[in-house]
Amino acid sequence: MNVYESMELTKKYGVCPECGNDKVGGEPSQGALIIQDEVFTRSCKCGWKVVIDRRIKCCAYMTNKRKGKTTGIYEVSIHGQGHKYLPLNDLKELAGVKRVNQTAKIEDWLNTTEGRKWALEVKPASIY
C-alpha cells in the first residue's frame, strides 16, 4: 500500500465512529493503527475495528487434462481491477508450487512485488 493510500485511510478512520477516540497506542492502549503490505487495520479501545485488505485473492481455479498435459486458469480478484484469469502452469512455476490447490502459497507469491507486477502485466488466460 503506498503512502498516499495509507494517509487517505488514516484521515478517513482517524476518529472512531463509535466513541470519538482519535488516539492510538499509549498505556493503557487507546487503539491501534497497523499498515502492513496491502492491509490497513485501525482499532479502538471500545472494540471498534476496520480492516481494509487490498491483497490479490484466489476466487477459483479450473484444470483440464489433454493428452497427459494439465492446463488451466486461476481466477483472482485484484483490488481496483476486478477479476482476472491467470495462466495456471506459468503461475505454478513462478510461485514454486506443484499443485493448484496450494492457494496460500500462490497468494503469498502473488502479493509480493514481483508477483503483483506479473499478475497485472500478464495477458489474461482464456477458459476455452
49 and 89 together in one domain:
no
* Number of domains within the chain: 2
- 63/91 Cα distance (integer angstroms): 13
Give the pLDDT confidence of 84-126 residue by residue, as tens digits: 999 999 999 999 999 888 999 999 999 998 999 999 999 998 8
pLDDT of residue 69: 80
Is the predicted pLDDT of residue 128 greater than 90, yes or no?
Answer: no
65 and 49 together in one domain:
no
| 127, part of any domain | no
- 53/46 Cα distance (integer angstroms): 22
pLDDT of residue 65: 82
| 75, part of any domain | yes
| 49, part of any domain | yes
Cis-peptide, bond into residue 124, ω within 30° of zero: no
pTM: 0.70
Domain coverage including residue 99: 57-121
45 and 65 together in one domain:
no
End-to-end CA distance of the chain: 35
SS3 assignment, position 118: helix
Give the pLDDT confidence of 22-52 residue by residue, as tens digits: 888 877 888 899 998 889 999 999 999 999 9
Give ∠ CA 3-7-12 in degrees, rounded to 5. 150
Give the pLDDT confidence of 59-89 residue by residue, as tens digits: 899 988 888 887 889 999 988 788 999 999 9
Residues 6+ apart with CB under 8 A from 94: 109, 115, 118
Give ∠ CA 104-127-125 in degrees, rounded to 5. 65
45 and 76 together in one domain:
no
